Structure 1
Amino acid sequence: MGTTPDRPIVVGIDGSPEASRALAFAVRQAERDGCALWLVNAVHEIVPVGPMLPLISGEPLVDVGHQLLAEARDAVEEHSDGRVGVKLQVALGPAVEVLAAAGERARLIVLGHRSASLVERMFTGSTTFGVVSRAVCPVVSVPRDWAQEADSHRVVAAIDGSGCSAEVLEHAFAVAALRGARVEIVHCWRLDPFYSYLVDEWSVQEEWGVQAHGIIDGLIEEAARAHPDVPYESDVEYADVADTLVRYSAGAELLVIGRHGHGALGSRMIAAVLGSVTRALLQHARCPVEVVPPRPATESSREPVEADQAQTPTDDSPLSAPDAAAPVGGLSTGGASP
């Protein structure tokens, strides 16, 4: 999946350890891509400060946002020895909408994964799930236990043979080329246990294996042609999809998966419905997960970004989120269980 050279990497900053891990990941990616970072702190316009206290305006938190971004900028300079440029933005509005809107002018969004409690999920939802379902650019979720030093030179690409598989493979090979890594392509499927009582599961497995190899091999050959120097291997397994991909994610540098359905369209936020496998991987994968959105049918079919949204962010410049769907996220940039 191609990127625009002058587009930055967006990082959600909220002062949490998860955001710090996301920032470290983004710095390394920016060094590989030769691009800048766009650090965004989202502040709700109305914020509940406690169960027994009234709502307060989010304006007092803008100063806190400026401080968090200044500290993040210092961390970027330290990690990159000043090689990575930084733009800062305090944005007024729900985090999901702010970050997804920023993604329209970015090559990548990077978020730290944080498991929320049941109560938090009921009332605030998941910022990671919300951004992944809406963004028009790839989104990376960095898990809690990601270790920056644990480079295995292995990028896992999970494909299902659908239309988005070609885009996932194209993106995975491009990422692996930048990292000097090999690509491990995984395709897995298993008949629902309910139906195994009604049909000969062994026969289904045999037929599926033959058909899967025929489709997958063609897709892989097409993607590998653009990156002949990137080594790869493919694995087709008759097994539970989520469990298998979580197993493959152990020790990998990155797990690349696709997303069905379009997210943001111009100034309107249209959420794609995340499947159970995508949600499970965002929650349980043991390496960073990059979710690749479907490519628009034609670039001209996308509505132009409104003038006030297209402005390049300046250091510490507050910006309100565009009109969008009902708020789904909070101040955190973490994920939550399905």
Structure 2
Amino acid sequence: MRYLFQRVVQNDKLWTGPSSGRLGSRSDGGYVVTHGFAHEDWNFRRDVCADGHIYGYMYYEPKQPEGDFNIAFAAYDKGIGWHLAGFYEQASFAVNGANFPLALVRQRAKELDELDALGHIGGAYKGQSVIQKAKLLSDELKMYRWRVRPENIKPLQVRVAVPSEIIGGPGKHYTRPTEIAPAQWDQLRLLAHDYENRLPEDDYSDGGNLEFPEGELIQKTHYRRERNKTLVKEAKAAFIRKHGRLFCEVCHFDFESYYGRMGSNFIEVHHNLRPMHTMDTATVSKISDLAMLCSNCHRIIHRERPWALVEDFRKKLLIAKRAKT
């Protein structure tokens, strides 16, 4: 068994389909900038070929392509670092690529056509019919060369940050699939264990005062642990006494300033020290444990595991903004 760490492009559909808005972006460069999509956008789509396997995109040919591979897929953000997308286990390298059914290729072509209609597709695919897009995709099937059983793909439903002590160094060192040690693989699998095949959590059902309802039964348990609403009110009141208004502690967005009366007294309340779902009934929260966040910052801070503290998240945001300029 060989172990690889492979970079994939940024994707907001969890690598089950192409994302919109990437044409001309700076997030990944290369093909995605000129075309608006990347072939690995479908790497965790459970579309199966006639032989019962899934085929993931792979432009690179290993020096020794024989045998089985365990592959950790990750995206890289210059301002934040690596975050895991998911895994292939016991994959093999198919030299001749995939043989997708025509219906499957056309379905993917339709997805590109929908982005094209929005102005998000470029290169050879721009302005082409669905049939022509399907032909272009068919010409690329020889590059879909990671062959894996459906049960051996392990997608992650949240972004899991990779500590630098596991995969260190700048992102450019991993623009090609890189062999890693079995111990590194084990660390990555342990890091992501709790987030495999899990549906995204609805953290904001009531506008931000509660976190982690995960279905009816668990939600009932959750409500016994819910953050004391009196504490939330007191935290907001204390914040107003200190600052004179409610605003996001990361980006300083003020709902009332922007929305007027509709945004009065609105802010999302985030538990800065421990996630609500990890607390037992004996846990006591303090006002100082809570942070005021706008809806955008609240959602972004919850996209990665493990979560950053608000102060660390603020620093990451500053680094990300500098990287864009």
* TM score, norm. by length of structure 1: 0.29
Q: TM-score, normalised by structure 2?
A: 0.30
Task: Report the structure number with the largest CA radius of gyration.
Answer: 2
The structure showing larger relative contact order (alpha-carbon pairs under 8 Å, at least 6 residues apart) is 1
